[in-house]
Structure 1
Amino acid sequence: MILECRGVKFPEDAIILTDRVRESIAAGRYEGKEATQVEKLLKEGDRVLEIGSGLGFISTIAARDPKTVDVLCYEADPRLIPYIQSVHELNGITNVTVRNAALTTDLSQKELTFFVRKDFWGSSFSKAGGDYISETSIPTQPFNEVMQQFRPTFIVCDIEGAELDLFMNASLFGVTRVLVEIHSRIIGRTGVKRLFDAMSARDFHYDEFHSHGSVVLFSHIKR
């Protein structure tokens, strides 16, 4: 059975689409806050970098918009890569590249341990995130090099608490918007403050008009 949410079709997969995931998609709740803002925020000529691609839902929404030039997706969970590609294929999406790697600004990290959980959205680089069914080593790629090569204008990020370490030393030249889900239960109040401080130091401000709870938009003050 093919599920559908916001016009995006999801092919059947008994392992990836657990009961909780199916319910979220069927009810139209799956990544609803992010999807609403991405649809509003896309601009002509956008190059979208998605960090933490999940099922390929947000990348499909971004790629199907004629204003979008290119989409680059990073997803750490190796189980999800074939599924993301099948979602793109089912929805006729061709302008997306999907990579199974973790972005980092720590060049000493060549691999990271990733903890896989039954419901894919609970998988993370944190062992403390709850019971996991397996762990695997994920290759890393230098975030700042990817920025130079792909030249994104819009970043969408949902990486279960790893957002703090990523953006603390990130080069965001050319980026005008960063839409990030903040996981305060993982990074804590101090981590949230540090993330806001890091974005402020790069001339990004909190955009209350396109933020909703933990899904926060940082907009550049001059671009």
Structure 2
Amino acid sequence: MDGTTDVNAQPSIRSRGLRYPKAAFMTPAIRTALRKDTYENTMVTACSRTALPEDTVLDIGAGIGAVSATLAKQQNVKMVHAVEANPELAAYLTKMFAMNGIENAGVIAGTLGARKSTADFYVRKNPSMSSLVEREETTASKVEKIDVLNAKALIKELSPTVVIVDIQGSEADLVPQLDLSGLRAAVVKLHPKWIGPEGVNAVFAAMMQAGLNYNARGSSGKVVSFRRAWPTA
């Protein structure tokens, strides 16, 4: 019996036409949102409105794959590179893609930074709250060492046309480090509570410096979309 058959036999939750393998880390809230087709709804909608079939997508902070799988399976984008710092979720993504027969998406375990190194990753009971940042209000259940990949080198290697960022308050540090010059569009989930107005401004400044303009159609609340060109019609 091959690995794909084993994965397909696992219990799963169906959401928006996709199957999510059941996992111990899934909180009741995550399971309910998946069953109601509302899990990461704002982010999925924004990215679906932004990405095109010809795009190569770099999804930084892919989580359990809601955005990556939607773009790869349902919008059939050229390729999705799903970056996930949480080791447990990185392994989960591989199973999730296999369960859904997704071949135009791959998993990159680790996070991005200015140079290749390692970093502490704070794993919390709710995986969506796990991050590179230690916070008193959300105590980590454990701390793991993860790989930090050179952001500029990875973007040069993969040549994405769309970058998606959802990294729980680290966006203000990472986005200005990225080479955004070759992008057609980008989507960033902001966390103002943690990065403050200065962090929000840093994200917008990096996008504007790269020639990427705020895209209202792909934005909603804390999820902001940017694109280089405007439709002529």
TM-score by length of 2: 0.89
Question: What's the secondary structure of 2:122's corresponding residue?
Answer: strand
Say if 2:174 is the partner of 1:169: no
The yes-or-no answer on 1:30 pairing with 2:61 is no
Q: Does 1:60 align with 2:69?
A: yes
Query: Offset at 1:12?
Result: 1.6
- Structure 2 residue 51 is matched with structure 1 residue 42: yes
After superposition, residues 1-223 of structure 1 pair within 5 angstroms as 1-13=11-23, 15-65=24-74, 67-104=76-113, 106-107=114-115, 110-128=117-135, 130-221=138-229
Do 1:20 and 1:119's aligned partners in 2 also have CA atoms closer than 8 Å?
no
Q: CA deviation at 1:166?
A: 0.9
Superposition TM-score, scaled by structure 1 size: 0.93
Q: Distance in 2 between matches of 1:170 and 1:61?
A: 24
Q: State whether residues 56 and 85 of structure 1, in contact with CA within 8 Å, keep that contact through their aligned partners in structure 2.
A: no
Q: Deviations over 1:44-85 (max 9, x none)?
A: 321010000100121111111464111111100001122111
Deviating runs (4+, > 6 A) in structure 1? none
Q: How many positions carry a matched residue from both structures?
A: 220
CA distance in 1 between counterparts of 2:70 and 2:229 reads 26
Q: Unmatched 5+ residue regions in structure 2?
A: 1-10
1:2, distance to aligned residue in structure 2 (A): 2.1
Give, as a single letter, the amino acid of the residue that structure 2 aligns with 1:147.
I
Asked if 1 retains the 8 angstrom alpha-carbon contact of 2:46 and 2:223, the reply is no
What percent identity do the matched residue pairs reach? 28
Displacement after TM superposition at 1:183 (Å) = 0.6
AA aligned opposite 2:19: K
Distance change in 2, residues 1:81/1:67 (3 Å): closer
Structure 1, gaps ≥5 residues long = none
Which sits farther off after the overlay, 126-135 or 147-156? 126-135
Deviation string, structure 1 residues 180-222 (Cα, Å, up to 9, x no partner): 1001111001111122112111111111121000010011248
CA distance in 2, matches of 1:93, 1:149: 22
Q: What is the root-mean-square deviation in Å for CA atoms of aligned residues?
A: 1.7
**2-structure distance, mates of 1:196, 1:81:** 28
| Partner-residue secondary structure (3-state), 2:92 | helix
Given that residues 203 and 221 in structure 1 are in contact (C-alpha distance below 8 angstroms), is that contact kept between their aligned partners in structure 2?
A: no
